[in-house]
Amino acid sequence: MSRAWLIGAGPGDVELLTLKAVRALAQADVVLVDDLVNPEVLQFARDDALIVHVGKRGGHASTPQPAIVAMMLDQLRMGRSVARLKGGDPFVFGRGGEEQQALQAAGVHVEIVSGITAGIAAPAAIGIPVTHRDYAQGVIFVTGHGAGEHEADWPALAATRMTLVIYMGMRRLNDIADALLRAGMSPDTPCAAIESATRPEQRHVCAVLRDLVQRVADAGLGSPSIVVIGGVASLAAPVDALLQHASS
């Protein structure tokens, strides 16, 4: 079989793509692309590469995971090199681990090309460090997508006093905020929600936990967004400073 890559395309800004990702894309015969990948990234693919869009975006129709793996294996068996291109990092809520397992089970060696994950880049885009010795000794990345038996243990997470960075949490933001408040997290905990981070259409709101859901609704923020909960969110840069930087 030919070569296979799992590539992280970063959080959105094409300039945050790694050099290793650029080199891999330039070699691939076939590129399977997720919806959250900035289309500008495809400028680094070969002109004759086959580009296949396979979805994978919360709340939208997606190509089933087995079908994606089957496509990759079919192309590899035909002697073509395949790049699987994902938003952010392929091993952070990107199902890259599952794809690696499936390909390895078929005897395929997979090269992992890490990308900058939105959980770090989105807060940084508005001046929030996810760790800071005066505010948080660590950071926890968690999906807000689960419910029922797949629900995160919000009381345990609240007790850590670490920064919480929530992926795919916008549809259940009210439930998440309520769970954290019930767990004893202070209603005055600083929070931020950042939509389309690092891209020209980036927007965000900052609020304390008790007001977060209403502020997000008032601003009309949606997916894709990252939510940051913890003292570090108080370090967000003023909006006018961000606007000045964006226009410079």
Predicted local distance difference test score (pLDDT) of residue 247 = 54
pTM for the model: 0.91
What was the pLDDT predicted at 113?
98
Q: Which of the residues 13, 86, 89, 168 is marked catalytic? A: 168
What are the tens digits of pLDDT across the range 68-115?
A: 999 999 999 999 999 999 999 999 999 999 999 999 999 999 999 999
For residue 201, CA distances in Å to 56, 102, 226 come to 21, 36, 14
pLDDT digits (tens, 9 = 90+) for 179-205: 999 999 999 999 999 999 999 999 999
**Cα–Cα distance for residue pair 26/172, rounded to 1 Å:** 39
In the annotation, is 170 catalytic? no
Q: Among this protein's residues, is 153 annotated catalytic? A: no
d(CA 56, CA 35): 6
- Return the H-helix or E-strand segment holding 141: strand 139-143
Facing residues of 158 across strands? none
125-141 burial code (b ≥16 CB/10 A, e <16): bbbbebebeebbeebbb
* 34 part of the active site: yes
pLDDT at 21 over 90: yes
Secondary structure (3-state) at 226: strand
User: How do residues 131-170 score in pLDDT, each as one tens digit?
Assistant: 999 999 999 999 998 767 788 999 999 999 999 999 999 9
Of the candidates 13, 29, 56, 185, the residue annotated as catalytic is: 56
Domains located in the chain, CATH noted = 4-113 (3.40.1010.10), 118-247 (3.30.950.10)
Residue 239 — pLDDT band, cuts 50, 70, 90?
Answer: low
Choice among 34, 72, 170, 185 that is catalytic: 34
For the chain, the average pLDDT equals: 93
- 61 pLDDT exceeds 80? no
